[in-house]
Structure 1
Amino acid sequence: MNYMRSIVVLMLCVILAIPTLSAQEFELNHDEHEASTEYVCPMHSHIVSDEPGTCPICGMDLEPRQRVQESDVKVSAQMQQNLGIRTTTAEVTTLWRYYPTIASVQWNDNARHHLHTRASGWIERLHVRSEGQQVEQGDPVYDIYSRELVVAQQDFLQALSSASANPRLLRDAKLRLELLGFAEPLIAQLEKSKEIIYRVPVFAPHSGVVTELNVAEGMYIEPGLAVMTLTGDDSYWLIADVPERYSDWLSAGAPVDVTLPQAGLNKHETTIDYIYPALDAQARTQRVRIKMPDSKVGTNLLVGMQAEVELYGGPKRDALTVPLSSLMITGTTNRVMVKTDDNSFVQRDVHVGLVVGDQAEILHGLEAGEQVVVAGQFLLDSEATLLNSRMQNPQSQEATDAHANH
């Protein structure tokens, strides 16, 4: 019995003699963290103030949030080498506004013409049978039998017989035929033959491609119906969708290079023709219309083709830039890892502006000359996030330490 008591006493002495690392001793290995309150705009996260107020951009009230001072992550020189950590300097330079993207060839809406009948009747013969059919100006597109047109022809012939007595009546009768869509050559034919045309041909007012056909042979049509749509094929539009962040430097007349090998275009120099005034609500992109060469002059453009386009917007001088590879995108914010001395790194939230190639402009969050990590930053960021979590939840950290010491 006395032997067992001696063993228990000896074990207690050994346990009490083991040194433990307290929470205070842990914090001495890192910079102190003092929580404070800062005020941030809910729509523009880079607008941060030490006092309550409103956002200078959108006017919304700034919302309070807890701010924790930066955590230094200590990494020895040897470990930096093992992890392959590399840094570069944030520097002020000139960014040339440039954005490469894909654009699609589309119909020129300004060359679109709708054909409507001006008199009710039946389509006796339809000369255009399908969409995509090429039509030249003056080609017959359909023949119509219309009682209104028959009556108008009768009135014209009656006025023609008494033209010497009442020339105004003849003029009004002719004008009525024109307004009902009776072509000028048909009026001349009627005046010469004095025979009523019951199946009246309707001619294409413009050359183009039938892009919409809403009738079939034998249908009864009225003035409210768009019989068909003709779209001119002598010119096309090139439409590109540009992300919202580039919209501030886009302008009509800015230079564009277009590459479309199928149409014989290689770095074809053209310009922005028009910038649409509204953003796509879902994609958050802005539509840009680009001038294209005449399709009948050495090109073979087809609607639906995709072209490579390069948009240029001139220089942006005195821009603070870092490599795009240094950015860590979290979904709500962008941040980088900054090297503060030989062995210390801190997280830093940044607000990104213009992105050109592999360079990103930093509007807020960095100073020129600071060192940002371009390789190995995700390991450092994970460690810094873990330290911040510990400092923001000290009770949880104490419980973890206490559990580790038992």
Structure 2
Amino acid sequence: MLLLAWPLALTNLSQVALLVTDTIFLGHLGEIPLAAATLGGNLHFIAMALPFGLAFAATAMMAQEKGRVRGHMREMRRTFRQACWLGVLVYIPIAVTLWNSGPILRATGQDPSLADAAQTFTRAMMWGLLPFYGFMLLRGFLSALERPRAALWVSLAAVGLNAVLSYALVLGGFGAPSLGVLGAGIASATSNAFMFVGLAILVSLDRRFARFRLAGRFWRADWRRMAELTRIGLPIAGTMLLEIGIFSGTALVMGWFGPAAVAAHAVALQVASAAFMIPMGISQAATARVGLAAGATDPLGVRRAGWTAIGLAAGFMALTATLLFLLPDRLASLFLSEEFADTRRLAATLLMVAGLFQLADGVQVAAAGALRGLKDTRLPLLFAALGYWGLGLPIGLLLGFPLGMGPLGIWFGLAAGLAVVAVLMTLRWRKLAFLRA
């Protein structure tokens, strides 16, 4: 599990590093650019939920097809091809939505100047969305083959590229014009395109992967497979939309407290997201390992893979929780200077609350990954709806407004919702693993 998970986890971290880089550079321009990029980035991630769901469904299907061994090359190629088709189809309405993000944000009560700046950011970012989806599909294909390192090398190179582009386009380094949030969006979109092109080249040049001929007969439709991808992928997308949406929704709620609250939320969320990428990588490894065992009709392998993933994720997140409790001020200072002392103190406080839900967050994502390996995606959607929106958000709003806890109360609500989802996901996995005994 670790051999497969660590490249996936580092790949995830490198993708977070793209946004962290933008956040650091934009933080030097002040609260308004940072808050605008946060709001725009949240909308972008909400829009990514459907492509993410389809990509994870494709990974689970390709893993089971690889586990069955016989005819797996043909089956994996067909799944990859139909996932590409679906990605192009869903991108069109997503792009239209992101292009009009300004009116959407204003409708949620955001400051008009913040909404306009966020729209500038999303209009630049949206051009990297489809290439990033292609990168996720290729990474899922490599994960099913238990060969994920090529994706890691490309992602690390993209981090360096994004840092150079952000320095040039956000701050005006190397004699380039300073474009602020627009520059950050251009840098991120370019880096996403680089990841897809780079990984596609590596896959095509490596004999182990090129023999699958992923682009072969690309025009040929397989409607049954497309329907299965949709059936599995839509609940995953819904689950991710609910999870992404709750954090993005809280960013919108933070906007009601002012730009300082949004900026503090952005910093705390960036740190929590970076920590989350490790169990996310373990979750992706669990999907591949459970899928391979399920395809090979190996119930013991299924159980071992799932429980190992959950245990590893829980152990790592216990360590990150300790770090967040001990060093919140130090972490907040990485993003905000003394000039924004009040915002930095609020960010440090939110980081301590984030420490409360680290363990639950790791367990729920690992269990969800194991369930995806069994193509079990519908009940996890209901669990997410209940935990995040049925309990987490109402509790946060109650604590934040009527009880007067402000931004801190919103984050306590997040912690409560994640705890409920973690318990439900683990119980579901326990039941399915027991049934396969």
- TM-score, normalised relative to structure 1: 0.20
- TM-score, normalised relative to structure 2: 0.19
Structure with higher Rg: it is 1
| Structure showing the higher strand proportion among its residues | 1
| Structure showing the higher helix proportion among its residues | 2
